[in-house]
Structure 1
């Protein structure tokens, strides 16, 4: 009998990929928006602009949905099946909570209000 191998499996979650120095308030708002819709979110740090970060996040997410936040607070929501340069949503720091809600609604299939 072989020893049992422990494998780390990431739970399904939206991935929030943010640049170092991204505004903490924007990250909190994105997290709050996803939480309001009942969809878990996992953070990671990356390099690049919001759309690039969001597309990488969507590819890393088991739910195929990601949010990217750049160092200046601009943000994007992306789905892994969309073309890399065509996010579902682009916005600025004021759109943080909306971005979290939109990402969660893409996952759950609810209208993007």
Structure 2
């Protein structure tokens, strides 16, 4: 699974999203990209992922979980002004989309 993050994306957000994915046993590759909105970054990450699931994190800490087959403006999950628990849940959600497990 791929995570695209904008320059200046909060390290705490990246850490928690990564931890959530790892809890579900799905590796996450972080890739810094030019600035963008979380939803657009997530969709681009999903298109770059062999698993067709991606996460985007914007400079303001917004998070979007996306699937390559979803419309670009319709992420599976979007989190704005989240808490560490929200960010970790986003990572778990992305991983569960990959594994086909029910979302929590």
The answer to whether the superposition gives a TM-score over 0.5 is: yes
Count of residues in Structure 1 that have an aligned counterpart in Structure 2: 100
Q: Does 1:55 align with 2:43?
A: yes
Counterpart of 1:99 (choices 66, 77, 90) is 90
For structure 2, list consecutive stretches of 5 or more residues without a partner in the other structure: none
Q: Alpha-carbon deviations, 1:23-46, whole Å to 9, x = none?
A: 000000000000000000001012
1:29 corresponds to? 16
C-alpha distance in structure 2 between counterparts of 1:66 and 1:106, whole Å:
10
**Within 2, Cα distance between the matches of 1:85 and 1:34?**
23
Q: What is the TM-score of this pair, normalised by structure 1? A: 0.86
RMSD (CA atoms): 0.7
Measure how far apart 1:68 and its partner are. 0.3
**3-state SS of paired residue (1:67):** strand
Counterpart for residue 41 of structure 1: 28
Taking structure 2 as the reference length, what is the TM-score of the superposition? 0.94
Larger Rg: 1
Structure 1 outlier segments of 4+, above 2 Å: none
